[in-house]
Amino acid sequence: MRKVRDYDAELKALGDKARQLKAKRVEQLGQLVAATGADALDAETLAGVLLDAIALEDAGAKEAWRAKGAAFFQRRGRKGRGAAPIDGAEPDAQPGSDAARGSSATSD
């Protein structure tokens, strides 16, 4: 006889896992903002920079930002200042966050 599946319990477990992953991502983004020094900007300025980065269609500029972001993560890894939680989000994983990394790094 087949084992009966509890779909409600499985859906609840998946929902819980999704909430945990989202919370972890939000935490890592906050760590990234702090690590780049972008937390010194007021929220409106930071939001404006990120919105401009997302809207920008210049692939060359976005690639330059991506390269700066990659260099930032490599420098942090060599210094050993606890970059591991932030490095969990690979620079190539989220195109929108690539622009954000580079744009906030240029405001230093």
Let me know: does 32 contact 26? Beta carbons within 8 Å.
no
Residue 1 lies in a domain: no
The pTM of the full predicted model, rounded to 2 decimals, is: 0.60
Which among 18, 19, 6, 35 has a CA at the least distance from the CA of 104?
Answer: 35
Q: How many domains does the chain have?
A: 1
Query: How far is Cα 2 from Cα 18, in angstroms, rounded to an integer?
Result: 29
Between 98 and 29, the more confident residue is: 29
Domain-located, residue 18: yes
Domain hosting 94: range is 7-105
H or E element at residue 30: helix 7-36
Residues 33-75 pLDDT 10s: 999 999 999 999 999 999 999 999 999 999 999 999 999 999 8
CA dist., res. 69 & res. 61, Å (int): 12
Considering the domain boundaries, does residue 84 fall inside one?
yes
